[in-house]
Amino acid sequence: MDLSQNHAIAGAVSGFLTRLICQPFDVIKIRFQLQVEPISHTHSSKYQSLLQATSTIIREEGIFSLWKGHLPAQFLSITYGLTQFYSYNKLMEVMTDSKINNRQYSMNFIAGATAGTIATIASFPFDTARTRLVAQSSTRKIYTGLFNCYWTILKTESVRTLFRGLSLTLLQVAPHTGLQFLFYNISTSIYRRLVPDSEITALNSLLSGSIAGVLSKTAIYPMDLGRKRLQIQGFEHGRVGFGKFFHCGGLVDCFVRIVKEEGVLGLFKGLLPSQVKAAATSSLHFTFYEQALHLLRFIH
């Protein structure tokens, strides 16, 4: 098995394990992002804080609702992880061999941004289905599962719906993934300088991944929120019981309406659980990837 296949397999394993552990953070983050009312104890909003939202979901829908939309999310994560790490390492090889750029950190950013773009296009329909399944009310389900979700969307809407918000996502993913790989490599480089002749350990991957996840997610967060709002357009009937439905006609209109109705801070609604998720996801993503890669190299 060649090195490229090892990167692809390690990326897929990393995507699967990370998603399995971090899915509850994603469910809560999406619920926050789709809520128009303020996330505050001083308002009669459905979700008012991280702990309150978690307990509300468990009380009303059961603990396994924290893994709602898990099947499409797993397809998303496995496809994304496999494609991302395979593309990243291929691009780094090409740039290194052809000497396109001899600056390591800028190469990390360019390769990461491009790999993220490729992985997003490949996995985006899973993201749309995941969002719809997480967003729908448990008492008034529109979709019974992943395949029913796709069938219903194609039957009642169109294939374009599966890619709604893709352009916004690509604007978000390219800098996000580029920054993620950049910050991760900067962090691991600092570690190597502090501890000479050392290999990347699981602890170092966890710490570096956490730093990379929080910094990169915070930088692009409004784009992520806008994407979620766009993905539920036309889905009013599935949001009964979640408060006011958010209508928008595109990216610019989405941001204008959010600022007008929810204030500038509305662009960062759900940031805390998103940062918690980003820290956990990124740290585990890189750690599982590095450890799976070490295991594959040992086996072969």
Percent of the chain with pLDDT over 90: 31
Query: Per-residue confidence at 11, pLDDT binned at 50, 70, 90?
Result: very high
For the residues 42-65, what does the mean pLDDT come to? 87
The reported pLDDT for the residue numbered 110 is 92
For residues 175 and 246, the model is more confident at 175
Query: Per-residue confidence at 1, pLDDT binned at 50, 70, 90?
Result: low
For the residues 70-98, what does the mean pLDDT come to? 89
For the residues 214-228, what does the mean pLDDT come to? 86
The DSSP-derived string for 216-247 is HHHHHHHHHHHHHHHHTTT-GGG-TTSSSPP-
Of 78, 61, 70, nearest in space to 139 by CA: 61
Of 244, 248, 219, 243, nearest in space to 231 by CA: 248
The reported pLDDT for the residue numbered 23 is 87
The reported pLDDT for the residue numbered 300 is 67
pLDDT digits (tens, 9 = 90+) for 111-144: 999 999 999 999 999 988 888 887 777 777 888 8
CA distance 116 to 97: 21
Of 171, 272, 290, 127, nearest in space to 214 by CA: 272
The reported pLDDT for the residue numbered 121 is 93
For residues 131 and 83, the model is more confident at 83
Identify the DSSP state of 200: P
For residues 148 and 191, the model is more confident at 148
Mean pLDDT score across all residues of the chain: 85
The reported pLDDT for the residue numbered 102 is 62
